[in-house]
Chains A and B, each alone.
Chain A
Amino acid sequence: MRRRLAPYALILPGGLWLAIFFVVPMVVMLSFSLMQGDVVNGFSLTWHWQNYSEALSDYDDQLIRSLVYGVIATAACIVLAYPVAYWIAFRGGARKTTFLFLLLLPFFVSFVLRTFSWKFLLADDGIVLSPLKHAGLLPQDFHVIATGFAVVAGLTYNYLPFMVLPIYVALERVDPKMIEAAQDLYASPAQAFARVVFPLSLPGVFAGVLMTFVPVSADYVNATVLGGTNNTMIGNIIQNLYLVNNDYPQAAALSFTLMAILLIGIFLYARALGTEDVLEVATR
């Protein structure tokens, strides 16, 4: 009896933690999203579904922009991360851990601080742009900060390690003998990569996309620091509604809308990639 109960006893602390700090707030937020009222007079649950339709119609621009930025930044992360992960996995040799550590080193500095340092670097009269402008290589009114490009670049930079790590883990598990086998079977190095290495690393890419696309789409720090008024993301709106306007129902409705969109997106992505295959390779 005791032996049968032991596993349940072991998951109890974690389970409780999740129940109290994840499930309960979710339910609270869900109910908030259907309430009406204000901070002064209090909120009451009136099943006000209009919160959702209003959220969609009022902030559709920012929602779409967030998803577009999310897709671009995620794609940029894949393109930048893959060669790095590949290099560490197959050429890293005995120093693999050192390289991984270097990759994670920026995490020892606050996320916000790093983003601000970008702002400092790329400011209109900052150390990168002003010499170029003085030399006449760039027009005087050229700027990087407060553009969509700056926001996407910041997002890409901040979430890059989350893409490198899972791809690295997937590539690390690819037996180098597999590459030799492909080449032995008349595959050129490019074919060996396309037919064997890349398909085997897809679970890593999949995990990397999950770990970047979701937080990137909901991010508000980069848009706040590096963006201007025209690059507001949905995260900024939610933050504003909550902390500035104290419009909890609208903020909650917007949060759940974003969550639903991301979940559907991820689900479609998994289907398109063939989850079965991904999971199969991942669990072999």
Chain B
Amino acid sequence: MTDTKEAGTPVGADLAAIELNGVKKTFHAHGDAVAAVKGIDVSIGEGEFFSLLGPSGCGKTTTMRMIAGFDEPTEGEVFLHGRNVVGVPPNKRDVNMVFQSYALFPHMSVFENVAFGLRRKGVAKSEVARRVGEMLEIVDLKGREKRRPRELSGGQQQRVALARALVNRPRALLLDEPLGALDLKLRQAMQVELKRIQREVGITFVYVTHDQNEALTMSDRIAVMNDGRIEQLGTPREIYERPATTFVAGFIGTSNVLSGTVARAGAGRAVIEPGLGERIVVPCTAAPGEEIELTVRPEKIDVRSDPPAGDGCALRGTVTEVVYLGMFTNYNVTTSTGAEVVVFVQNVSSADDVATRGDSVWLSWDPRHSYVIGA
């Protein structure tokens, strides 16, 4: 795990909306102990759109369920606005959840669904009607109050689930892969919609997803989780541009991982020289003779037929595959050292591809785009 305190600071108030302190969770099933969450420290700021991103089984949902109160941590503390809520049942926690399956009450109308939480809190009747109406307007469902959930489309059900949680004005809203059941187009529309609603209501959102695009699009900060731990915590840009571990590099977008022995070093730069005229320049403090790993994003690399001038990065390789993808062309290149590199070249002009399969090419990129892993 990398240091979570430095990377990115919570937006807003001094008191964190949610704070997890050394939280661990071990499940016992059939006599086996399974550690789902192996130690998480994170502080989520007031009004922040925070994503827990990771593959299935990484512990992100368990983490969220511990915030909601459906699971209790085996170890550690959960603070909601400075109050330790370990042992407090979900109905007494001021957070609300949007379930992946929506979990709308099928025997109740849209209005009744949305009013459910307010009624339990004993809010006055007129106030309930006003707030439910207001919320249904925000999620664009006015006029459908009397419908039953099953009479609505998937996207509409999604918005009812959102309204049902938000109408209570919780301290934080927890969303468990809420867009997972929608088709791509609707999902993209809902991403924009969610972000708009979050800005409008100003409530802290904790968003659990395995979809890196979703996380990158909406979040203020992202915690990339793997195997019960946070691999990296930072803004979408930090996570994407400077993946801290090979896992993050591989999980977020397409990334090229290169390795080699440092030949020369100085002035905050290390240089690997795989072959004649070839060099990988990395901004880091590694000393000559040290073995390092680095990443370069595919869209940062240029493909050319002649060696690049200057002292930027340069690698020789052979094109093994060219795939035209509309907005850009994807080149797979095998370098002289045998590494597989993916390059995205934007199709700026309608001219022919810069290279075809089997061509010998040079890859070049600005050293600023080389990132050492684990530094």
In the complex, chain A residues whose CB is within 8 Å of the CB of B105? 178, 181-182, 196
Shortest Cβ distance from A281 into B: residue: B107
Contact A181 B97 (CB under 8 A): yes
In the complex, chain B residues whose CB is within 8 Å of the CB of A191? 120
Interface size of B as a range: 20 to 34
**Interface residues of A: mostly helix, strand, loop or mixed?**
helix
How far is A183 from B90 in the complex, measured between Cα atoms in Å?
6
- Tell me how many residues of A have a C-beta within 8 Å of chain B: 21
How far is A229 from B150 in the complex, measured between Cα atoms in Å?
55
Q: How many A-B residue pairs have CB under 8 A?
A: 60
Given A180-B70, A184-B91: 19 more A-B contacts, CB < 8 Å: A180-B99, A180-B103, A181-B105, A182-B105, A184-B70, A184-B90, A184-B96, A184-B165, A185-B91, A185-B96, A185-B120, A185-B168, A186-B117, A186-B120, A187-B120, A200-B106, A277-B107, A280-B107, A281-B106
How far is A183 from B89 in the complex, measured between Cα atoms in Å?
8
- Report if B101 contacts A (CB, 8 A): yes
B330 smallest CB distance to A (angstroms): 40
Residue-wise, chain A 191-214 has the 8 Å CB interface mask toward B (1 for contact) of 100011001100000000000000
B115 smallest CB distance to A (angstroms): 10
- Report if A95 contacts B (CB, 8 A): no
In the complex, chain A residues whose CB is within 8 Å of the CB of B117? 185-186
- Report if A177 contacts B (CB, 8 A): yes
Contact B107 A187 (CB under 8 A): no
Contact B121 A186 (CB under 8 A): yes
How far is A284 from B149 in the complex, measured between Cα atoms in Å?
10
Residue-wise, chain A 247-284 has the 8 Å CB interface mask toward B (1 for contact) of 00000000000000000000000000000010011001
A150 smallest CB distance to B (angstroms): 39
- Report if B66 contacts A (CB, 8 A): no
B116 contacts which of A177, A182, A199, A277 (Cβ < 8 Å)?
A182
Shortest Cβ distance from B92 into A: residue: A186
How far is A7 from B231 in the complex, measured between Cα atoms in Å?
60
Contacting A at CB under 8 A, from B78-97, are 89-92, 96-97
- Report if B164 contacts A (CB, 8 A): yes
In the complex, chain B residues whose CB is within 8 Å of the CB of A180? 70, 90, 97, 99, 103
- Report if A188 contacts B (CB, 8 A): yes
Shortest Cβ distance from B122 into A: residue: A186
